[in-house]
Chain A
Amino acid sequence: NAGVMQNPRHLVRRRGQEARLRCSPMKGHSHVYWYRQLPEEGLKFMVYLQKENIIDESGMPKERFSAEFPKEGPSILRIQQVVRGDSAAYFCASSKWGGPGYEQFFGPGTRLTVL
């Protein structure tokens, strides 16, 4: 039973380019969460999605960032026109049920470096 999968594991982009991060949840999980982690810090919530729906995007920057979780295929976190401050580790988590209190299982993360 595979865990949460993320790819790529490492991504290097120049300022102004687009970054696309992919996440496949655990089998049987239909709730996906994206977090961002800066060095020496904890994880900060960005967005919570179910299939084809954004449930909560209160942690997502208003511009340049978007997320989707289509009916088929992985969840995608998209960052347009990247800037140096976007450099961070981005983690995806999934859970079987949604809402507070349900255990979330994390992927290995994508480390984004913006040159």
Chain B
Amino acid sequence: GQQLNQSPQSMFIQEGEDVSMNCTSSSIFNTWLWYKQDPGEGPVLLIALYKAGELTSNGRLTAQFGITRKDSFLNISASIPSDVGIYFCAGPNNNDMRFGAGTRLTVKP
């Protein structure tokens, strides 16, 4: 099946810094989704990407769908404490969604 590899596994940054994380796959995806999960909650959709090369922003978040369709990155600019959480990339796999293992972000005030 399709595997999604996320890196880094965890990040510790200072408030105000920019953050970059990425997701790669051994096979092609036609859609990339980025979710954020707060402790004790379900994942919340941040950005959806539908076309290779697409660059999409949502506030301080920017995500790109790689040209090869095998990777995607998520950037967060000027991080704030509430950005803390786990960020997951996901892509459709037949009838379900395949998730990466997540990048755990810690923001120090």
Contacts and interface: CB of A to CB of B under 8 A. Distances in A.
A106 B31 CA distance: 18
A43 interface: yes
A56 B100 contact: no
A101 B98 CA distance: 11
A79 interface: no
Contacts of B96: 33, 35, 45, 48, 56, 58-59
> What size tier do the contact residues of chain B reach?
20 to 34
Given A42-B88, A100-B92, A103-B33, A33 B97 contact: yes
A33 B93 CA distance: 13
A65 interface: no
A111 B39 CA distance: 12
Contacts of A99: 92, 95
A101 B92 contact: yes
Contacts of A81: none
15 contacts: A35-B97, A41-B102, A42-B100, A42-B102, A44-B99, A48-B96, A56-B95, A59-B96, A91-B42, A93-B97, A100-B92, A100-B94, A106-B43, A106-B44, A109-B42
